[in-house]
Amino acid sequence: MPHPSFLRRFLAHSDHQPALFIGRWYSYGQLRELGERTAGWLREQGVVPGDRVAIQLDNGLDLVAAHLGCMALGAVRLPLNSHYQRAELAPILEDAAPKLAISRHPERFDGLPCHDHVGSGSPVADWPVPPEDITALLFTSGTTGRAKGAPQTFKMWESNLDALAERWEITPELRLYLALPMFHTHGLVLGLHGMLLAGASAVVGERFDGQLPPEDVTDVYGVPTWYRRWLPVMGSHPEAFRRLRLMVSGSDGLPAAVSDEVFALTGQRLLERYGMTETVMIASNPLKGERRAGTVGTALPGVDIRIEAGEIQVRGPSVFGGYRPRPDPGAFVEGWFRTGDAGSWDEAGYLRITGRKKDLVIVGGVNVSPAEVEELLRSVHGVAEIGCCGLSDADLNEVVAAAVVLDGSRSEEEVRRALGHRAQEALSGLKRPRHYVFVESLPRNAMGKLQRARIPLELFGRR
């Protein structure tokens, strides 16, 4: 079977070239062999091309092996946030129906065969085009509360990664510091696949630890929270950042003050870009031209952007084909994907993100659906109604806050404690409300629909 050029290009890099540092260096040849042996093991577990394989792992060799194994076999990766608890995983597993899971937490995967490590089998070196070219299914927080599956094709990724490579001048000489979790587009597609497609290399970090970036990296991809947390070490070790070729910020709005402080300390202007799981990257500031703080730059080559009634809409070869298995008829209008982000063009033709038309809270670069949090906390005894929103936060940009109406059966203190316990057991850390307020009623419109956008000012007295 012919390989799509995405796979062909990955397979063509010279065997001895360094690819990833994960405790030690792995060359491209070693990565391919790792993938082929993992594919053999997956086949022994009954996985066939087109089957979904759930991967709930932190950055590390097993995660990379699982991804490459699926590619070598033609299976579909189902990357899952490694922090997700059983209640957050259940609807995703129901929709994606994976054949098996790989996770250090088998107790989160009721009834599904779950392995806590990746195994090794006799090599399978097919690297086929997966059915419909779908190589991964990425679930993204829906505004409805239920995460939505966005199928990812090699074609989407290749066109987008080539556009980024052109805009950011990505060459095989580059070395990325890759500590973003490889279960989101940012770390998985731009980080891992962006480097492996270009024949470049990456030093994999298990997570962002606020320490200096490794000495031999040239590029860093991060979220605003990273750069904010890095400010003290930028002050004490500016040369460790000054020597970098490129520092990219994305996934969440970069406050101008952070951008300016980084610049003052290191002489580096963070390059901000904008993307979404459904579209991969949409717009970016330039590598060499003016990087305008407060904007996300201009459309990437091949991407069309329009602003309709204040909403950013996108089309082009890197935009996905629609949610699965639950299509959302409102996701596209006249062939344009509706991002739910509000935007405008500035005087230089750069895109500015001015707000969100969707009910979404972004915590440390991680999307949180307030509706999902409400759904998981509503059943706590003593709660009559609950409404969640985002409140600004000096570390994570935003955190989740909850306004609660009591039903009178328990005291405020008891309900507060019970909500804390429930959040601890049902929600991953960044989704847990950090602020609670107890109120008589929630803001609703004439139809009785909860108006989350009014909660911050009306019930917490701040944004």
Positions that interact with ligand MCA (CB under 6 A)? 81, 83, 180-181, 184-187, 207-208, 223, 225, 250-251, 275-277, 364-366, 428-430
Applying CB under 6 A, does 218 fall inside the site for ligand AMP? no
In the shown chain, the binding pattern of residues 337 to 376 toward ligand AMP, with x for contact by CB under 6 A and - for none, equals --x-x-----------x--x-----x----x---------
In the shown chain, the binding pattern of residues 281 to 300 toward ligand AMP, with x for contact by CB under 6 A and - for none, equals ---------------x----
Specify whether the CB–CB gap between 281 and 161 falls below 8 A: no
In the shown chain, the binding pattern of residues 230 to 269 toward ligand AMP, with x for contact by CB under 6 A and - for none, equals --------------------xxxx----------------
Residue 253 binds which entry of ligand AMP, ligand MCA, none, CB below 5-8 Å type-dependent: ligand AMP
Q: Which residues contact 279 (CB under 8 A, 6 or more apart)?
A: 303, 314, 316, 318, 319, 320, 337, 339
Measured CA to CA, the distance from residue 258 to residue 263 in angstroms comes to 8
- Amino acid 36 reads E
| Cis status of the peptide bond prior to 325, with omega within 30 of 0 | yes
Residue at shortest CB range from ligand AMP: 277
**Smallest distance from the beta carbon of 298 to ligand AMP, in angstroms?**
13
Which residue, 40 or 79, is less far from ligand AMP as judged by CB? 79
Which of 51, 272, 311, 374 binds ligand AMP (CB under 6 A)? It is: 272
Cα distances (angstroms) measured from residue 333 to each of 18, 141, 307, 310, 313: 44, 20, 12, 14, 9
Which residue, 271 or 386, is less far from ligand AMP as judged by CB? 271
Measured CA to CA, the distance from residue 348 to residue 382 in angstroms comes to 54
Residue spans of alpha helices (H) in 276-403: 370-377
Question: Using CB atoms within 10 A of its CB, is residue 427 exposed (0-12), middle (13-18) or buried (19+)?
Answer: buried
β-pairing, 280-284 vs 311-315, is unpaired
Measured CA to CA, the distance from residue 364 to residue 207 in angstroms comes to 13
Which residue, 31 or 180, is less far from ligand MCA as judged by CB? 180
**Smallest distance from the beta carbon of 355 to ligand AMP, in angstroms?**
9
Residue 242 binds which entry of ligand AMP, ligand MCA, none, CB below 5-8 Å type-dependent: none
Residue 181 binds which entry of ligand MCA, ligand AMP, none, CB below 5-8 Å type-dependent: ligand MCA
Residue 353 binds which entry of ligand MCA, ligand AMP, none, CB below 5-8 Å type-dependent: ligand AMP
Residue 297 binds which entry of ligand MCA, ligand AMP, none, CB below 5-8 Å type-dependent: none
**Smallest distance from the beta carbon of 146 to ligand AMP, in angstroms?**
14
Cα distances (angstroms) measured from residue 22 to each of 197, 206, 322, 440: 18, 9, 35, 53
Which residue, 79 or 275, is less far from ligand AMP as judged by CB? 275
What tokens appear for 218 in the block? 């040239």
Applying CB under 6 A, does 274 fall inside the site for ligand AMP? yes
Which residue, 184 or 452, is less far from ligand AMP as judged by CB? 184
Specify whether the CB–CB gap between 152 and 137 falls below 8 A: yes
Measured CA to CA, the distance from residue 290 to residue 316 in angstroms comes to 25
Residue spans of alpha helices (H) in 303-411: 370-377
Which residue, 37 or 186, is less far from ligand MCA as judged by CB? 186
Among the candidate windows 76-84, 236-244, 259-267, 271-279, which touches ligand AMP by CB under 6 A?
Answer: 271-279
Residue 96 backbone class (left: φ over 0; alpha: ψ -120 to 50; beta: rest)? alpha
Residue 326 binds which entry of ligand MCA, ligand AMP, none, CB below 5-8 Å type-dependent: none
Residues 163-192 that bind ligand AMP (CB under 6 A): 184-185
Q: What share of the chain is helix, strand, coil (3-state, %, to 5)?
A: 30, 25, 40
Which residue, 225 or 268, is less far from ligand MCA as judged by CB? 225
**Smallest distance from the beta carbon of 46 to ligand MCA, in angstroms?**
30
Which of 5, 30, 120, 140 binds ligand AMP (CB under 6 A)? It is: 140
Which residue, 69 or 250, is less far from ligand MCA as judged by CB? 250
How would you write 114-172 as a 3-class SS string? EECCCCCCCCCCCCCCCHHHEEEEEEECCCCCCCEEEEEEHHHHHHHHHHHHHHHCCCC
What tokens appear for 86 in the block? 């059983």
DSSP 461: S
Among the candidate windows 42-50, 124-132, 273-281, 430-438, which touches ligand AMP by CB under 6 A?
Answer: 273-281
Total residues at interface with ligand AMP (CB under 6 A): 19
Burial 271-298 (b: 16+ CB within 10 A, else e): bbbbbbbbbbbbbbbeeeeebbbebbbb
Binding site for ligand AMP (CB under 6 A): 140, 184-185, 250-253, 272, 274-277, 296, 339, 341, 353, 356, 362, 367
